[in-house]
Structure 1
Protein backbone atom coordinates (compact mmCIF):
# COMPACT_ATOMS: atom_id res chain seq x y z
CA UNK A 1 0.00 0.00 0.00
CA UNK A 2 1.21 3.41 -0.92
CA UNK A 3 0.83 6.42 1.36
CA UNK A 4 0.49 9.92 -0.02
CA UNK A 5 1.96 12.78 1.87
CA UNK A 6 -0.68 15.30 2.69
CA UNK A 7 0.25 18.84 1.77
CA UNK A 8 0.75 21.08 4.73
CA UNK A 9 -1.90 23.69 5.11
CA UNK A 10 -0.52 27.16 5.62
CA UNK A 11 -2.10 29.18 8.37
CA UNK A 12 -3.76 32.43 7.37
CA UNK A 13 -1.83 35.50 8.42
CA UNK A 14 -2.15 39.24 8.01
CA UNK A 15 0.33 40.96 5.74
CA UNK A 16 1.80 43.85 7.75
CA UNK A 17 3.61 45.77 5.00
CA UNK A 18 0.49 46.86 3.03
CA UNK A 19 -1.26 47.78 6.28
CA UNK A 20 1.69 49.93 7.37
CA UNK A 21 1.71 51.65 3.95
CA UNK A 22 -1.96 52.55 4.27
CA UNK A 23 -1.50 53.85 7.80
CA UNK A 24 1.46 56.02 6.71
CA UNK A 25 -0.57 57.54 3.87
CA UNK A 26 -3.39 58.33 6.29
CA UNK A 27 -0.95 59.88 8.75
CA UNK A 28 0.62 62.08 6.06
CA UNK A 29 -2.81 63.13 4.79
CA UNK A 30 -4.03 64.19 8.24
CA UNK A 31 -0.80 66.04 9.03
CA UNK A 32 -1.01 67.99 5.77
CA UNK A 33 -4.64 68.89 6.44
CA UNK A 34 -3.88 70.04 9.99
CA UNK A 35 -1.00 72.22 8.77
CA UNK A 36 -3.21 73.78 6.07
CA UNK A 37 -0.83 72.64 3.33
CA UNK A 38 -3.83 71.28 1.44
CA UNK A 39 -6.11 74.31 1.03
CA UNK A 40 -9.57 74.22 2.51
CA UNK A 41 -12.63 75.06 0.46
CA UNK A 42 -13.35 78.69 -0.13
CA UNK A 43 -11.91 81.70 -1.85
CA UNK A 44 -8.25 82.49 -1.43
CA UNK A 45 -7.84 85.99 -0.05
CA UNK A 46 -4.91 88.12 0.98
CA UNK A 47 -6.07 90.14 3.95
CA UNK A 48 -5.02 93.74 4.24
CA UNK A 49 -2.76 94.52 7.20
CA UNK A 50 -3.50 96.77 10.17
CA UNK A 51 -1.25 97.66 13.08
CA UNK A 52 -4.26 97.88 15.42
CA UNK A 53 -5.69 94.46 14.51
CA UNK A 54 -6.94 92.50 17.50
CA UNK A 55 -8.10 88.99 18.21
CA UNK A 56 -11.87 88.48 18.40
CA UNK A 57 -13.42 86.86 21.44
CA UNK A 58 -15.21 83.53 20.88
CA UNK A 59 -18.78 84.20 19.82
CA UNK A 60 -21.38 83.10 17.31
CA UNK A 61 -20.06 84.37 14.01
CA UNK A 62 -20.53 84.16 10.27
CA UNK A 63 -17.70 84.76 7.81
CA UNK A 64 -18.56 86.58 4.59
CA UNK A 65 -15.75 86.35 2.03
CA UNK A 66 -15.45 88.83 -0.84
CA UNK A 67 -13.26 87.63 -3.69
CA UNK A 68 -12.22 88.92 -7.08
CA UNK A 69 -14.74 89.04 -9.94
CA UNK A 70 -17.66 89.80 -7.59
CA UNK A 71 -17.52 86.38 -5.93
CA UNK A 72 -19.20 86.19 -2.54
CA UNK A 73 -19.24 83.34 -0.02
CA UNK A 74 -20.91 82.77 3.33
CA UNK A 75 -18.94 80.35 5.52
CA UNK A 76 -17.25 78.85 2.43
CA UNK A 77 -20.44 78.41 0.38
CA UNK A 78 -21.13 80.61 -2.70
CA UNK A 79 -24.06 82.97 -2.27
CA UNK A 80 -25.64 85.90 -4.10
CA UNK A 81 -25.69 89.34 -2.48
CA UNK A 82 -29.52 89.38 -2.56
CA UNK A 83 -29.70 86.12 -0.58
CA UNK A 84 -27.04 87.05 2.00
CA UNK A 85 -29.27 88.81 4.54
CA UNK A 86 -31.97 86.11 4.41
CA UNK A 87 -29.41 83.34 4.96
CA UNK A 88 -27.82 85.23 7.87
CA UNK A 89 -31.21 85.79 9.49
CA UNK A 90 -31.80 82.03 9.34
CA UNK A 91 -28.50 81.46 11.17
CA UNK A 92 -29.29 84.10 13.79
CA UNK A 93 -31.73 82.43 16.14
CA UNK A 94 -31.66 83.66 19.75
CA UNK A 95 -28.23 85.17 20.27
CA UNK A 96 -26.74 87.99 18.19
CA UNK A 97 -24.58 87.07 15.25
CA UNK A 98 -21.20 88.70 14.61
CA UNK A 99 -20.38 89.06 10.94
CA UNK A 100 -16.75 89.09 9.81
CA UNK A 101 -16.01 90.44 6.34
CA UNK A 102 -13.01 88.62 4.89
CA UNK A 103 -12.12 90.74 1.87
CA UNK A 104 -9.23 90.32 -0.54
CA UNK A 105 -6.82 93.26 -0.96
CA UNK A 106 -7.82 93.55 -4.61
CA UNK A 107 -11.55 93.98 -3.95
CA UNK A 108 -12.77 97.51 -4.64
CA UNK A 109 -13.81 99.53 -1.61
CA UNK A 110 -17.10 100.24 -3.37
CA UNK A 111 -17.92 96.51 -3.36
CA UNK A 112 -16.98 96.21 0.32
CA UNK A 113 -19.17 99.18 1.23
CA UNK A 114 -22.07 97.77 -0.81
CA UNK A 115 -21.94 94.47 1.10
CA UNK A 116 -21.65 96.28 4.46
CA UNK A 117 -24.56 98.55 3.54
CA UNK A 118 -26.67 95.55 2.55
CA UNK A 119 -25.92 93.93 5.94
CA UNK A 120 -26.74 97.11 7.88
CA UNK A 121 -30.04 97.53 6.03
CA UNK A 122 -30.81 93.92 6.93
CA UNK A 123 -30.49 94.78 10.63
CA UNK A 124 -26.98 93.49 11.36
CA UNK A 125 -25.01 96.01 13.41
CA UNK A 126 -22.03 93.91 14.49
CA UNK A 127 -19.93 93.81 11.30
CA UNK A 128 -16.12 93.52 11.46
CA UNK A 129 -13.48 93.56 8.72
CA UNK A 130 -10.83 90.84 8.95
CA UNK A 131 -7.20 91.97 8.72
CA UNK A 132 -3.82 90.49 9.49
CA UNK A 133 -1.59 92.00 12.14
CA UNK A 134 1.43 93.89 10.81
Structure 2
Protein backbone atom coordinates (compact mmCIF):
# COMPACT_ATOMS: atom_id res chain seq x y z
CA UNK A 1 0.00 0.00 0.00
CA UNK A 2 1.65 3.26 -1.09
CA UNK A 3 2.20 6.03 1.43
CA UNK A 4 0.48 9.32 0.67
CA UNK A 5 2.48 12.49 1.27
CA UNK A 6 0.80 15.67 2.45
CA UNK A 7 2.25 19.13 2.36
CA UNK A 8 1.97 21.50 5.31
CA UNK A 9 -0.96 23.22 3.58
CA UNK A 10 -3.13 20.15 3.95
CA UNK A 11 -3.43 19.31 0.25
CA UNK A 12 -2.89 15.73 -0.90
CA UNK A 13 -0.16 14.78 -3.36
CA UNK A 14 -0.39 11.70 -5.47
CA UNK A 15 3.38 10.94 -5.20
CA UNK A 16 4.36 7.62 -3.68
CA UNK A 17 7.16 7.49 -1.11
CA UNK A 18 10.16 5.53 -2.35
CA UNK A 19 13.53 4.40 -1.09
CA UNK A 20 16.52 5.74 -3.02
CA UNK A 21 18.82 2.82 -3.93
CA UNK A 22 21.89 4.76 -5.17
CA UNK A 23 22.93 6.15 -1.74
CA UNK A 24 22.37 2.70 -0.24
CA UNK A 25 24.70 1.13 -2.83
CA UNK A 26 27.31 3.84 -2.17
CA UNK A 27 27.25 3.08 1.54
CA UNK A 28 27.56 -0.65 0.92
CA UNK A 29 30.59 -0.16 -1.36
CA UNK A 30 32.19 2.10 1.24
CA UNK A 31 31.66 -0.53 3.95
CA UNK A 32 33.02 -3.27 1.71
CA UNK A 33 36.15 -1.25 0.92
CA UNK A 34 36.61 -0.38 4.60
CA UNK A 35 36.38 -4.02 5.70
CA UNK A 36 38.81 -5.08 2.97
CA UNK A 37 41.37 -2.47 4.02
CA UNK A 38 41.07 -3.41 7.70
CA UNK A 39 41.42 -7.12 6.98
CA UNK A 40 44.52 -6.52 4.83
CA UNK A 41 46.12 -4.42 7.56
CA UNK A 42 45.57 -7.23 10.07
CA UNK A 43 47.70 -9.63 8.03
CA UNK A 44 51.15 -10.07 9.48
CA UNK A 45 54.13 -12.11 8.42
CA UNK A 46 55.37 -14.51 11.08
CA UNK A 47 59.06 -14.46 10.35
CA UNK A 48 62.15 -14.07 12.46
CA UNK A 49 63.74 -10.63 12.16
CA UNK A 50 67.04 -11.24 10.35
CA UNK A 51 69.67 -9.18 8.60
CA UNK A 52 70.05 -11.13 5.36
CA UNK A 53 73.41 -11.11 3.60
CA UNK A 54 73.55 -9.36 0.24
CA UNK A 55 74.29 -11.06 -3.09
CA UNK A 56 74.90 -9.42 -6.46
CA UNK A 57 73.66 -12.43 -8.43
CA UNK A 58 70.45 -13.12 -6.47
CA UNK A 59 67.46 -14.30 -8.51
CA UNK A 60 63.80 -14.56 -7.51
CA UNK A 61 62.24 -18.01 -7.55
CA UNK A 62 58.50 -17.68 -8.20
CA UNK A 63 57.62 -21.36 -8.57
CA UNK A 64 56.44 -23.77 -5.86
CA UNK A 65 56.67 -22.09 -2.46
CA UNK A 66 59.60 -23.51 -0.52
CA UNK A 67 59.81 -24.52 3.12
CA UNK A 68 61.25 -21.53 4.98
CA UNK A 69 63.85 -22.14 7.68
CA UNK A 70 65.72 -19.36 9.46
CA UNK A 71 68.99 -19.37 11.41
CA UNK A 72 69.54 -16.30 13.58
CA UNK A 73 72.85 -14.84 14.75
CA UNK A 74 72.83 -17.05 17.86
CA UNK A 75 72.34 -20.28 15.89
CA UNK A 76 68.65 -20.69 16.79
CA UNK A 77 66.78 -22.48 13.97
CA UNK A 78 63.13 -21.60 13.33
CA UNK A 79 60.48 -23.08 11.04
CA UNK A 80 57.34 -20.92 10.67
CA UNK A 81 58.45 -18.84 13.68
CA UNK A 82 58.74 -21.96 15.90
CA UNK A 83 62.11 -23.04 17.26
CA UNK A 84 63.20 -26.46 15.97
CA UNK A 85 66.27 -28.68 16.16
CA UNK A 86 67.95 -30.33 13.15
CA UNK A 87 66.44 -33.67 14.22
CA UNK A 88 62.94 -32.14 14.25
CA UNK A 89 63.56 -30.68 10.78
CA UNK A 90 64.37 -34.13 9.42
CA UNK A 91 61.34 -35.69 11.14
CA UNK A 92 58.94 -33.02 9.90
CA UNK A 93 60.29 -33.22 6.35
CA UNK A 94 60.00 -37.01 6.34
CA UNK A 95 56.42 -36.71 7.62
CA UNK A 96 55.65 -34.42 4.66
CA UNK A 97 56.95 -37.11 2.29
CA UNK A 98 59.16 -34.84 0.18
CA UNK A 99 59.14 -35.15 -3.61
CA UNK A 100 61.82 -34.13 -6.06
CA UNK A 101 60.12 -30.69 -6.29
CA UNK A 102 60.28 -30.05 -2.54
CA UNK A 103 62.48 -27.04 -1.82
CA UNK A 104 63.99 -25.76 1.40
CA UNK A 105 64.88 -22.08 1.62
CA UNK A 106 67.30 -21.22 4.43
CA UNK A 107 67.45 -17.61 5.64
CA UNK A 108 70.69 -17.31 7.61
CA UNK A 109 71.50 -14.15 9.52
CA UNK A 110 74.63 -12.52 8.17
CA UNK A 111 76.28 -13.08 11.57
CA UNK A 112 75.17 -16.72 12.00
CA UNK A 113 77.71 -19.49 12.44
CA UNK A 114 78.43 -21.76 9.52
CA UNK A 115 77.98 -24.88 11.64
CA UNK A 116 74.36 -23.99 12.46
CA UNK A 117 73.60 -23.43 8.78
CA UNK A 118 75.33 -26.69 7.81
CA UNK A 119 73.23 -28.59 10.37
CA UNK A 120 70.08 -27.31 8.66
CA UNK A 121 71.42 -28.37 5.24
CA UNK A 122 72.34 -31.80 6.61
CA UNK A 123 68.89 -32.19 8.21
CA UNK A 124 67.15 -31.37 4.91
CA UNK A 125 69.38 -33.71 2.93
CA UNK A 126 68.83 -36.49 5.50
CA UNK A 127 65.10 -36.22 4.73
CA UNK A 128 65.80 -36.63 1.03
CA UNK A 129 65.42 -32.97 -0.02
CA UNK A 130 67.97 -32.11 -2.69
CA UNK A 131 66.86 -28.56 -3.51
CA UNK A 132 68.27 -26.45 -0.70
CA UNK A 133 69.01 -22.75 -1.27
CA UNK A 134 69.72 -19.58 0.70
CA UNK A 135 67.61 -16.46 1.01
CA UNK A 136 69.52 -13.24 0.39
CA UNK A 137 68.70 -9.65 -0.35
CA UNK A 138 69.69 -8.08 -3.65
CA UNK A 139 72.66 -5.78 -3.21
CA UNK A 140 72.20 -2.38 -4.82
CA UNK A 141 74.76 -1.71 -7.56
- The answer to whether TM tops 0.5 is yes
Bigger Cα displacement from structure 2, 52-61 vs 109-118: 109-118
Question: Residue deviations 1:45-102, cap 9 Å, x none?
Answer: 1110001000003214200111133311112222122110110122245563100001
Aligned counterpart for 1:102 among listed residues 103, 107, 122 = 107
SS in 1 for 2:47: coil
TM-score normalised per structure 2: 0.63
Equivalent residue pairs, number: 112
SS in 2 for 1:106: coil
Change (3 A) 1:129 1:94: closer
Root-mean-square deviation (CA, aligned residues, Å) is: 2.9
CA distance in 2, matches of 1:109, 1:93: 25
TM-score normalised per structure 1: 0.66
Q: Please report how far the alpha carbon of residue 29 of structure 1 lies from its aligned counterpart in structure 2 after TM superposition.
A: 5.2
Q: Which residue of 1 aligns with 2:138?
A: 133
Q: Which residue of 2 aligns with 1:78?
A: 83
Q: Which residue of 1 aligns with 2:7?
A: none
Q: Which residue of 2 aligns with 1:123?
A: 128
